[in-house]
Structure 1
């Protein structure tokens, strides 16, 4: 099939009248859409909560462990000049 034939076939398909959708399908679509939105919103809230908890845990750890402070020396310097 050449390009012109494919384009003509695509035009014929697009120019056809759309297939009617059964009216009883509409409430089901609304229910599923609402459920998807609720799940997406709940997932987003959970991710924000996890991010907040991880940030709080890191801040608390950093304040207690103070990783920016140099640790105390394990050995004593040599005693010279006594």
Structure 2
């Protein structure tokens, strides 16, 4: 099947009349769509809250542990009484 034939077949499929949708199906789809949007919004908010909590926990840990400071050497005794 060459390109013009395929395009003609696709045009015929797209120009067919759309079958009527039962009215009770529309209400069901709207209800499910609303529920899906609420779940996505809740999941997104929970993810942002989790990211914020992890960030706060990391900042608190970094300020208390101070991992960028070199620990004092304990292998050499301190020099006293030169």
TM-score range, shorter chain: 0.7 to 0.9
The unaligned stretches of length 5 or more in structure 1 are none
TM-score (norm: length of structure 1)? 0.87
How many residues are aligned here?
80
1:16-31, aligned counterparts within 5 Å? Answer: 16-31=16-31
Report the alpha carbon displacement of residue 77 of structure 1 after superposing the two structures with TM.
5.5
1:1-82, aligned counterparts within 5 Å? Answer: 1-76=1-76
RMSD: 1.6
4+ residue segments displaced more than 3 Å? none
The unaligned stretches of length 5 or more in structure 2 are none
TM-score (norm: length of structure 2)? 0.87
CA distance in 2, matches of 1:78, 1:15: 90
Deviations 1:2-57 (A, max 9, x none): 22211111111111221111111011011100111011001001101110110011
